[in-house]
Amino acid sequence: AESLASLDAALDELAAQPDVKGLLLTGKPFVFAVGADLDAFGGATEEFARAAAARGHRAFRRLADLPFPTLAAINGACMGGGLEIALHCDARTLSTAAAGIAFPEVFLSIVPAWGGTQLAPRVVGAANALQAIVANALDNNRVMKPAQAFQMGFADRLIDAVDFLDDSVALLERLCTGEEQIERPPAPDAGDLDEALATARRTADDRVHGATRAPYVAIDLIEFAAGGGALDEGCRREEDALAELLPARQAQAAVYSFGLTQHRVKRQPWKPATPPRAVGKVGIVGSGLMGAQLGALFLQRLEVPVVLTDVDEAVLERARGLVEGELDKRVQRGRESAGKAEFLKSLVTYTVSREPLAGSGLVLEAVVEALDVKRRVFADVERVVDAGCLLATNTSSLSVEAMGEALAHPERVVGLHFFNPVALMPLVEVVRTPASSQEALATAFAVAKRLRKSAVPVADAPAFVVNRLWTRFTGACGEAVNAGNDFAEVDDAVKALGLPMGPFELLGLVGLKVAANVARTLHEAYPERFPLDANFQMLGVTDLPGVYDWARGRVPFEEVTRRWRVTDGARPLTGAQIRTRALEAAADEIRHMLDERVVADARDIDTCMLLGAGWPFFMGGICKHLDQIGVSERLFGAPLVGALDAAFSEVSDVRG
- For the chain, how are helix, strand and coil distributed in percent, rounded to 5? 55, 10, 35
DSSP-assigned beta bridge partners for residue 144: 101
Q: Residue 134: name the closest of 212, 236, 247 by CA.
A: 212
Q: Phi/psi at 558 (nearest 5 deg)?
A: -60, -35
Among the listed residues 75, 257, 360, 396, the single catalytic one is 396
592 included as an active-site residue: no
Indicate the DSSP class of residue 41: G
Catalytic residue among 336, 365, 429, 505: 429
CA distance 490 to 481: 7
- Provide long-range contacts, Cβ within 8 A and 24+ apart, for 185-190: 185/124, 185/125, 185/153, 187/125, 187/126, 187/226, 188/125, 188/126, 188/127, 188/226
For residue 234, the one-letter residue type is G
Q: What are the DSSP calls for 357-390, one per residue?
A: GTT-SEEEE---S-HHHHHHHHHHHHTTS-TT-E
* Distance from the first to the final alpha carbon of the chain: 45
Is residue 57 annotated as a catalytic residue, yes or no?
Answer: no
> Left if phi > 0, otherwise alpha if psi is -120 to 50, otherwise beta: which for 620?
left
Q: By the 8 A CB rule, do 312 and 292 touch?
A: no
Set 168, 238, 360, 417: catalytic member: 417
Please tell me the distance from the alpha carbon of residue 271 to that of residue 174, in angstroms, as a whole number: 54
Single-letter code of the amino acid located at 520: R
Q: Give the DSSP letter of residue 184.
A: -
Residue type present at position 129: A
Query: Is 417 tagged catalytic?
Result: yes
Q: Do the Cβ atoms of 387 and 410 come closer than 8 Å? A: no
Distance CA 499, CA 614 (A): 8
Alpha-carbon distance of 45 to 166, in angstroms, equals: 44
- Is 535 catalytic? The answer is no
**Active-site entry in 136, 360, 436, 467:** 467
**Residues with catalytic roles:** 396, 417, 429, 467
